[in-house]
Copies of this chain bind each other. A is one copy, B any other.
């Protein structure tokens, strides 16, 4: 049975491992976490990872799949709300709202770790795709991406389908990289002498959204040769 003594502070060994994994992955990145470090942080024996999760990849998969699901759920809810509001007013969704729905899933005060974890997942998948990153991206994120692009397209009808695809992916790239800057490098803050500071969440949110809205904006900004 899965119960320690009554009033035991720590949860299950299994849950302790999952929590420790989420913490460590957020702190050290995916490659930086070892079975030994995981067990130590969770305060359990190393073999517990294999006992409860079969292997380390499986634990990692569970952790990141949940992060992906939480994020997707949050954004789908936002999209539904945006579409409902647009429907009652009999108009297309506002670009600003659609972009905000995307960004808010990463940059919000409720779930401060989610953004950086997702960024780790996506960057890891780009740097070194594995079975489990592929599984999460394909099973949890692809459907959402298509759904999101459908709504997005209605907000930016002046773009054709190809452009919507391109700009969606470029948007994802910009957001992921800015999230990772915040944690690993601090390059933006360093180069700007602290003027541009991703640690300031409201600044982060505002700069990100205004950049993205502009990038999707109506074709009045470009002055080609």
Contact = CB atoms under 8 A, between A and B. Distances in A.
Interface of A: 29-32, 94-97, 120, 123-129, 137, 142, 145-146, 149, 161-163, 165-167, 169-178, 180-181, 184-185, 187-188, 190-192, 195-196, 207-208, 210-225
Copies of this chain present in the complex amount to 2
Contacts of A149: 191
A4 B155 CA distance: 65
Given A177-B177, A185-B126, A191 B165 contact: yes
Contacts of A192: 161-162, 165
A124 B126 contact: no
A188 B145 CA distance: 10
B173 A127 contact: no
Given A214-B219, A217-B220, A221-B218, A169 B188 contact: yes
Contacts of A129: 184-185
B207 A213 contact: no
16 contacts: A29-B127, A125-B185, A137-B185, A137-B187, A142-B191, A162-B192, A162-B195, A163-B207, A163-B210, A165-B191, A170-B207, A173-B174, A174-B177, A176-B177, A212-B215, A217-B217
